Amino acid sequence: MLVLLVYQNISTTTPLKENYEGVASFLTSHATASDIIAVSAPFTIYPIEYEYQGNTKIETIPLWDRYSHGAIPSYSRAKFISQLNSYKSQYADIFVVLSYDQGYQKDIEQYLDGHYKRLALKDFSPGLEVREYKLRYDIADK
């Protein structure tokens, strides 16, 4: 067991630690109360909430009510579009945290890139990035 522990710590094939602290710091300094944060892999909401110090609302894609429904719902493009449309009625920008592709990440990226203006893209560690998109133009810029 000791040999395997040492191997895991020095091996170049061991995945890098995800930089959720960097993501949370970026979101704290860039997202405002008029924005929304959406996490593409619902279970990664926990490390983000643990580190995040801001007041911007954080939700998941697909929308998951952790407190009353338990299991993560399956992804549906129609529900994703409906979720975005509900955000457009009250938020200026959306910050999408992409990590741990669950099989629908490309669909999210393609839809957002095809329908909204991307304002920022920042990589934090392999497979972990934040994208900011403009949802509404009638709310004053930051």
Please give the structure tokens belonging to residue 70: 């338990």
Question: What pTM did the predictor assign?
Answer: 0.85
Q: Cα–Cα distance between 27 and 109 in angstroms, integer?
A: 19
CB count within 10 Å of CB 7 equals 11
pLDDT at 37: 97
pLDDT at 140: 64
pLDDT at 4: 66
Low-confidence stretches of the chain (pLDDT < 70) are: 4-16, 69, 139-142
pLDDT at 22: 94
Q: Cα–Cα distance between 91 and 87 in angstroms, integer?
A: 6
DSSP three-state, residue 83 = helix
pLDDT at 72: 87
Please give the structure tokens belonging to residue 85: 């449309």
pLDDT at 138: 82
